[in-house]
Amino acid sequence: MEKEYEFWPDQIAKTLVKKWKVKKQVVTTGTSMSGEPHIGNANDVIRGHAIFLALKKLKVPAEL
């Protein structure tokens, strides 16, 4: 029997909902503009957006 895995943003979204009993989840992100721009600068924004989408999938009121 194969073990089933859950995508990491879904795990985080479920943890947030369980831990924080709030009316709306607010996900904040940002970029660091130090040095030359590169794809790594988008890391925080991409992760935040993935968690935001996971919250929406759970039908949790969320703001990005």
Q: Residue 53: which pLDDT band, with cuts at 50, 70 and 90?
A: very high
Dist CA 57 CA 51 (whole Å): 10
pTM: 0.83
Supply the pLDDT for residue 37: 81
pLDDT at 25 over 80: yes
Q: Residue 7: which pLDDT band, with cuts at 50, 70 and 90?
A: very high
Supply the pLDDT for residue 2: 84
Supply the pLDDT for residue 27: 95
Cβ 9 vs Cβ 54: under 8 Å: yes
Secondary structure letter of residue 58 according to DSSP? T
